[in-house]
Structure 1
Amino acid sequence: MSFSNINDHWLVGARACPSPHYNQRPDGEEISLLVIHNISLPPGQFDGPYIEQFFQGQLDASKHPYFAEIADLRVSAHLLIRRDGSVIQFVPFNERAWHAGASCFDGREQCNDFSIGIELEGTDDLPYTDPQYQALATITRTLMQYYPAITCDRITGHEHIAPGRKTDPGPAFDWPYYNSLIAK
């Protein structure tokens, strides 16, 4: 999939899996930030159905001890990029996904108001896959085209907007490699 087009704020080629965990952005708010995250459920395990269930508010707390801690949380992201590079969209880009929490970028708090959140299936300390980087780079270029206030200096990690509270995408994320891909 090329992921090089957006139709009505949905990424063409991504599988739609709508989440109830979103709301409207403040009136007139311009999308101007891209936040990169990671997630794996259970922690360190990949390819299961649990991330989708979590973002849809359908995570069964009895399936894993960790799930009992998070099952009642109401969170989402705009996109999830799986280990194989496949992409799932949970929230249309023009709406506010609940991914950043308490956050601050360039002196502005409440980053959910003006950002798009992309989750990479992974952990802070395991390398991300090349298909993930390729998909992320293509999507980034597409987002920058459709939402021109997102520029290279307005792409950040969750760890940078919520320091001390969040650590993702972590030291395993290769920022120089990613930046070289989006420059192509």
Structure 2
Amino acid sequence: MVDREGKVTQLAPFNLIAWHAGQSSYKGRRGVNGFGIGIEMVGPGQMTSSKPGFARAWFGEDFPIDKYDIRRMRTPAHGDGWWMPFTEPQVRMTIALCKALVAAYHLKDITTHWAISPKRKVDPNPLFPLELCRELALGKAAGPMGLA
């Protein structure tokens, strides 16, 4: 888990199934929990409109749109919603973590919850620099991201 300050907390050892993905598949292979490593990035997730100037998280907290640079976006994978950008320390650490995991475990791809569990999960949000992360961790020849 990478918090908004960029601190990493390992929630489960890599040799145990953490059940982070739920029902999922990757390139036709079901049960991503059994062979994938999940990285959670702390944030409020998809938010909805609230009182003027605020967006509301699923847990009921209202966030000031201007203070957090919250943006409304619509994508096929995410639907329509309000999204809080990840912090610079969070993005830098997530990229560094992906690079380290690719090197240590010879990983061939980096994908997302929304790709392995479409219509059920929407993380990371559309403001995460996914292609930059994939390129820096996997190299320029990363190829297309693996989908369900």
TM-score (norm 2): 0.64
Match of 1:143 among 88, 101, 115: 101
Deviations 1:124-183 (A, max 9, x none): 4111111111111111111112111x12xx211100001011111121222133235434
Cα distance in 1, alignment partners of residues 110 and 119 from structure 2? 19
Could you say which residue in structure 2 is the equivalent of 1:118?
39
Do the aligned residues in 2 keep the contact of 1:134 with 1:181 (CA within 8 Å)?
no
Bigger share in strand: 1
Which amino acid in structure 1 is aligned with residue 29 of structure 2?
R
User: Matched residues, percent identical?
Assistant: 40
Residues 104-183 of structure 1 aligned to structure 2 (within 5 Å): 104-122=25-43, 123-124=45-46, 125-148=83-106, 150-151=107-108, 154-182=109-137, 183=139
Aligned residues: 102
Could you say which residue in structure 2 is the equivalent of 1:93?
14
Question: What CA RMSD, in Å, does the superposition of the two structures yield over aligned residues?
Answer: 1.7
Do the aligned residues in 1 keep the contact of 2:91 with 2:128 (CA within 8 Å)?
no
Which amino acid in structure 2 is aligned with residue 146 of structure 1?
A
Which amino acid in structure 2 is aligned with residue 133 of structure 1?
V
Which amino acid in structure 1 is aligned with residue 121 of structure 2?
K
Larger RCO: 1 or 2 (CA < 8 Å, sep 6+)? 1
Structure 1 segments of 4+ aligned residues over 6 angstroms from their partners: none
Residues 58-73 of structure 1 aligned to structure 2 (within 5 Å): none
Unaligned ranges ≥5, structure 2: 47-82, 141-148
Cα distance in 2, alignment partners of residues 158 and 135 from structure 1? 19
Structure-2 change in CA distance of 1:173 and 1:159 (3 Å): same
Unaligned ranges ≥5, structure 1: 1-79
Cα distance in 1, alignment partners of residues 135 and 90 from structure 2? 14
TM-score (norm 1): 0.52
Could you say which residue in structure 1 is the equivalent of 2:55?
none
